[in-house]
Amino acid sequence: MSPDNGKKRIVIKIGSSSLTSMHGEISRRKLERLVDEVVQLKDEGLEVLLVSSGAVAAGYRKLGCLERPSSLPEKQAAASIGQGLLMEAYSELFLSHGYVASQILITRDDFSDENRYNNARNTINVLLERGIVPIVNENDTVTIDRLKFGDNDTLSAKVAGLVDADLLIILSDIDGLYNADPRKNPDAKLLEHVHAITHEIEQAAGESGSSVGTGGMKSKIDAVKIAMASGIPAFLGRAGVQNILRDAVKQTAKGTYFESKDDTVNLNQKKQWIAFNSGPKGEIIVDNDAKTAIVERKENLLPSNVKHVSGYFEKGSVVRIMDMEKKEVGLGIVNYSSQELTKLTHRSNESGGKPVVESEGLVCHIEVPIPVSL
């Protein structure tokens, strides 16, 4: 997973509550501690990328709000103030150690378009290879439908896949994943090593106690599932603990370490984009023979196995592949437009010249043990 230069690549996600004071403004002390620890990793030769929350929390008081705003326009206005304050502080602190920080603001559209996705990947690779510390956040000021990807936990996992990270570190206001909510159950036990996200783990995932951030434990579990499906180990631990980043890299920190033991769950860049970012344009219903061939034997989907086409899509689009019971089989990149494919389904014994979906452009649920719509 390491880049061509052989350096280990780390993605670190830091939440709002870990960067701001009790009054919701940037905590210089917390920022200095974080930057000092990132600098330790940089000095040891690691490439580090930060996914940093805190823009809204840092800006809403200067907008004149007494508490974190709930309306989207106020959140976006607060973010436009806070993002600048946040980057100013990061830049000053990293420069004091001899490192340059860069700002990257991303929207979900940047990930759903394959060309923009690859362009973001190339840009970040150049920054990391030149020793820069990229600081990534959602472009909160212009996001239309929701302020976040869901949250910056999910964004950090997608960024980790984007840059082929060797480790994703999620810092939060909790020590790690417990088998029950430690705030309600004094007998809750910290799960130190997790190799698969089970139904029981998902049920045990409570919500964060912070009123400053947006992501709870469920969002962190969703992020970890993306990382594990991409073959990237992850760590969840408490921000502010001395040497938490260095110890997490060495696997000696208190927290939860996530790493899949299933060698088949390791999606390449193309399949990561299909599974987690593409945004399917339509649906193809296939017969049972095709379902078996796709899921069990990883075979191509042929025109003769298509029973129905739904939605409008062009050649090269990503579509959902459904079985006869309307259950999702997986996602794939089609070789035909919806109009062409509809015509092919009306012709008996039509080969169509090429498969509807080729196996290398196909992601099945059996390969990705999470809903591909994340």
Q: What is the pLDDT of residue 265?
A: 59
Gap between the Cα atoms of 147 and 153, Å rounded: 13
- With 70 as the cut, is the pLDDT of residue 374 above it? no
Report residue 321 CA to chain centroid gap.
Answer: 23
- With 70 as the cut, is the pLDDT of residue 146 above it? no
Q: What is the pLDDT of residue 260?
A: 80
Share of the chain above pLDDT 70, in %: 86
- With 80 as the cut, is the pLDDT of residue 235 above it? yes
Where does the pLDDT of residue 147 fall: very low under 50, low under 70, confident under 90, or very high at 90 and above? very low
Share of the chain above pLDDT 90, in %: 35
What's the mean pLDDT in 158-177? 93
Beta carbons of 238 and 175 less than 8 angstroms apart:
yes
What's the mean pLDDT in 235-239? 95
Which DSSP helix (H) or strand (E) runs through 111? Answer: helix 108-112
Q: What is the pLDDT of residue 79?
A: 87
- Start-to-end Cα distance in the chain: 23
- With 80 as the cut, is the pLDDT of residue 131 above it? yes
- With 80 as the cut, is the pLDDT of residue 204 above it? no
- For the chain, domains (ranges, CATH) are 9-265 (3.40.1160.10), 280-364 (2.30.130.10)
Where does the pLDDT of residue 148 fall: very low under 50, low under 70, confident under 90, or very high at 90 and above? low
Cα-based distances in Å from 225 to 42, 68, 139, 235, 288? 27, 30, 24, 12, 28
Q: Report the relative pairing of strands 283-286 and 306-310 from DSSP bridges.
A: antiparallel
Enter the tokens of residue 36: 């000092």
What's the mean pLDDT in 108-132? 91
- With 90 as the cut, is the pLDDT of residue 359 above it? no
- Tens of pLDDT, residues 86-105: 999 999 999 999 999 999 99
Where does the pLDDT of residue 67 fall: very low under 50, low under 70, confident under 90, or very high at 90 and above? confident
Q: What is the pLDDT of residue 366?
A: 44
Most confident of 107-111, 179-183, 208-212, 366-370: 107-111
- With 60 as the cut, is the pLDDT of residue 145 above it? no
Look up tokens 């012709």; give the residue: 347
Gap between the Cα atoms of 158 and 176, Å rounded: 20
| Better pLDDT: 222 or 370 | 222
Q: What is the pLDDT of residue 68?
A: 81
- Tens of pLDDT, residues 311-337: 999 998 999 999 998 888 889 899 989
What's the mean pLDDT in 192-218? 68
